[in-house]
A and B are shown apart, each in its own frame.
Chain A
Amino acid sequence: MKYLMTTAAMLSASVAWAETSVLKVYTYDSFVSDWGPGPAVEAAFEETCSCDLQLIGAGDGAALLARIKLEGARSEADVVLGLDTNLTAAAKETELFAPHSVAAEFTLPVEWSDDTFAPFDWGYFAFVHNADMDAPANFRELADSDLKIAIQDPRSSTPGLGLLMWVKAAYGDDAPAMWSDLSDNVLTVTKGWSESYGLFLEGEADMVLSYTTSPAYHLIAEEDAGKAAAAFDEGHYMQVEVAGKLANSDQPELADAFLAFMVSDAFQSIIPTTNWMYPAVTPAEGLPEGFDTLITPAKALLLSPEDAAAARDGALAEWRNALAQ
């Protein structure tokens, strides 16, 4: 009898659990790590939705898109969070995404009008160096210096692709010449951001391709004011990270609710000190202390998703030719 009651209790408990709707969000790995925004975002959203938010890490932005393409229309994902504007044109081509219904006053340095993808954070790419070093003021000065930089491979890393687009946006047809002038400054090219940043922290490279917000991490989390980002007068290319709802989601309302939550203060205030990027909508309390010390580029560069997709393969070939000499 006791056994039966326990079984009945367990059964009813599992029925109750099954009735809780589950929202599956595919995102990149560092988003879900203990130090990333994932745990706080999950707790904050579950407070409002009485649902189970599952954040599923799948490599980086490019891996995320590959995963969605592999799974196709039968994907269990409801939302994909973590693509950037270099990937959104290819993502739209899959026709797997549905228009979003997010309305917000985005605080991006550029106009935002994409109807499929809504931004959740953004940053400027920049070369980070030790604060006691005289940093170059543009790519030309960098190319003329003896400084060694660690960069990421555009074929395997989203910041790497960002640098490719940065040089392309700033130099256009002169980009190949700039790359061949830079080639003796490139210490090495790594698979991902972590490897490059590791090389920089170990003192192997003088500068590393990262974000203008990287020094804020060292300042706020480590109380170390020793890192700085070099301001380049050509302007800085932006990375805008976005999320989109899948057309075949079995939880479309919940997915919409999540995207609306994504641009609210509760989500946006988590971003600066966990993802170390600028929030897409500056929360009411403003940015955390320390962010005011960061450089503000005079000019924001960003190719439209269509232009970025069109320029990508040509820019990659130029980059390979220039650095393979």
Chain B
Amino acid sequence: MAQRIGAISGPTAAGTVVALILAALVAVLSRADWPVVFGPADWAVLRFTVWQATLSALFSVAFAIPVARALARRRFAGRGLLVTLLGAPFILPVIVAVLGLLAVFGRAGWVSQGLGWLGLPPLSIYGLTGVVLAHVFFNMPLATRLILQGWQTIPAEQFRLVGQLGLPPAVVFRTLEWPVLRQVVPGALALVFVICLTSFAVALTLGGGPRATTLELAIYQAFRFDFDLGRAAILSLVQLAVAGGAAVIALWVLPPIVLQTGRDRQVQRWDARGLWPLDTMWIGLAAGFLLLPLGAVVVSGLIGLGQMPASVWSSTWTSAWVATLSAALLIALALSIAAWLAQARWGGAEALTLLGLAASPLMIGTGWFILIYPWAAPVRFALPVTALVNAMIALPFAVRILLPAMRQVFVDYGRLSASLGLHGLALWRIVLLPRIRPQLGFAAGLGAALSVGDLGVVTLFADPEVATLPLQMYRLMGSYQTNAASGAALILLGLALGMFWLCDAWGRRHVAG
């Protein structure tokens, strides 16, 4: 019997990711002073971190479900653009997104100004509200895309059938939509939870002060303020453990996978014709919530475009190729892991991919720095290391995106392919890749965009001659060049969305054609 595809490369890829994280952790621990104390203040930090991440995940996904549902059953002009823009908040550098949000929801923002005209006091979002609001802004769009993909796995024939039978929406929900939600929602919740777990600057800035101290800030403090590597390693380990715990719970509540088959046809939603006011409201709400802050970013960016130094353009080039390298690494890792998990009966190993997202970038950067330093100048590895770390951060998203589609292909074509003796590269080329092309495009686009926006470890390995675009932007901000920095942020947004759109459009061309 032929070897199943991904049977070797999948565990190898997953193992590599885990090994890279563990190596960093061990390197940091090797330089630690003992003993390390985890005191009451640390427990308070842990409680706050988990609580804000839980709320952020719940609100993001609760908002995403009706939006995804509305997007799944409506076709309108600009829908494709809106779906692309859903990827935008996630890739913005923290400070840019925060200033964009505050332009709308801040004390001097548009909403407060409107309230002022009505004689009402300005909005104050600083505190847990602000933290959750910002995290929903970052993650709701992403959750929407993930859930939307789940919706699209429901075969068109089934919607036609419920349309013909004239079933009411409640029944459609129970019979068709609920089983899909049970498949995708726990994964989306776990992802958003883990992202918010490692939040630092957003939580601090919008949380209004030290009561909003997260684990990541404590890790930062241990590295930078106290230079206590043992403490930094222990805190990183706690962060990994909480994220791992969340991932295990999410995968444990996932029901056993039952897939149905249908022909790949354009979905016509006969069942939802009367529900357009509800859908319009949800789409409008989501669009406003996303586009107003983004609009603020674009407006201030346009003003700053003329004041940008030429170095922004060379940084743009640097970021573009780092993102390309990162997306290529990501796809190699994600395809191997997804092919492996798609044929496994229980996908528990998916939890491993979350570790790359849950590991503190500062811990990974410091650990690798300690490892590389005796052998070579870490500066020389600045850009490849950045690309690799970015790929590891994007990996859980890519696997989550690819896995359902891959399972479907194995259910639909697995036996046929086996009887035809297709295996190895031929199976990838003829059967798998053409069928997961939309997911592949989306995953690659997300990986590239994420890499463009990530400041990550590059600061630790900073090369004097080449800077990525986010680093360049922070340097400008640090030199009072606020306008030029806004311009650079707009270029960054354009580059990230451009790369995302290229990949995503490549993937979706297949569906439309």
Contact = CB atoms under 8 A, between A and B. Distances in A.
Pair from one complex: yes
Interface of A: 29-30, 32-36, 54-59, 62-63, 65-67, 69-71, 74, 76, 90, 148, 153-156, 183, 186-195, 197-199, 201-204, 214, 217, 221, 276, 319-320, 323-324
A69 B476 CA distance: 27
B506 interface: no
Contacts of A195: 95, 98, 201, 205
A191 B204 contact: yes
B102 A199 contact: yes
B459 A191 contact: no
A201 B482 contact: yes
Contact of B201 (A58, A186, A191): A191
Contacts of B482: 197-198, 201
Given A55-B464, A183-B209, A190-B204, 8 more contacts: A33-B472, A57-B475, A153-B204, A187-B126, A195-B95, A197-B480, A199-B99, A204-B106
A35 B475 CA distance: 9
Interface in B343-402: 366, 369-370, 373-374, 377, 379
Nearest to A313: B226
B34 interface: no
Contact of A33 (B204, B366, B373, B478): B478
Contact of B220 (A156, A187, A199, A221): A156
Contact of A156 (B102, B207, B225): B225
Given A57-B475, A67-B460, A156-B220, A203 B209 contact: no
A29 B455 CA distance: 13
Given A66-B224, A191-B200, A319 B210 contact: yes
Nearest to B224: A62
A85 to B, nearest CB: 16
A191 B103 CA distance: 19
A35 B480 contact: yes
A324 B213 CA distance: 9
Contact of B477 (A32, A183, A198, A204): A198
Contacts, number: 150
Contacts of B98: 195
A192 B309 CA distance: 23
A190 B459 contact: no
Interface of B: 41, 95, 98-99, 102-103, 106-108, 126, 200-201, 204-211, 213, 217, 220-221, 223-225, 227, 309, 311, 366, 369-370, 373-374, 377, 379, 459-460, 462, 464, 471-472, 474-482, 484
Contact of B99 (A34, A35, A198): A198
Contacts of A156: 217, 220-221, 224-225
Contact of B205 (A59, A154, A191): A191
B102 A62 contact: no
A186 B477 CA distance: 22
Given A33-B479, A188-B126, A202 B221 contact: no
| List of 5 A-B pairs having minimum Cβ-Cβ separation, nearest first | A30-B478, A203-B108, A194-B477, A33-B475, A35-B479
Dominant secondary structure of chain B at its interface with chain A: helix
A8 B201 CA distance: 54
Of listed B207, B369, B459, residue having the most chain A CB within 10 A: B459
B433 to A, nearest CB: 42
B387 to A, nearest CB: 20
A29 B208 contact: no
A36 B475 CA distance: 9
B464 A56 contact: yes
Contact of B106 (A54, A69, A194, A202): A202
Contact of B309 (A34, A155, A189): A34
Contacts of A190: 201, 204-205
Nearest to B309: A34
Given A30-B475, A198-B95, A189 B204 contact: yes
A294 to B, nearest CB: 15
Given A30-B475, A33-B475, A320 B210 contact: yes
A74 B370 CA distance: 12
A70 B370 contact: yes
7 contacts: A35-B481, A65-B227, A156-B224, A187-B208, A189-B204, A195-B95, A197-B477
A35 to B, nearest CB: 4
Contact of B479 (A30, A59, A71, A319): A30
A71 B227 CA distance: 13
A54 B464 contact: yes
A58 B220 CA distance: 15
A193 B475 CA distance: 11
A66 to B, nearest CB: 5
Contacts of B373: 70-71, 74
A187 B475 contact: no
Contacts of B95: 194-195, 198
A56 B475 CA distance: 13
B201 A202 contact: no
Nearest to A35: B479
Given A29-B462, A59-B459, A187 B107 contact: yes
B102 A155 contact: no
Nearest to B461: A58
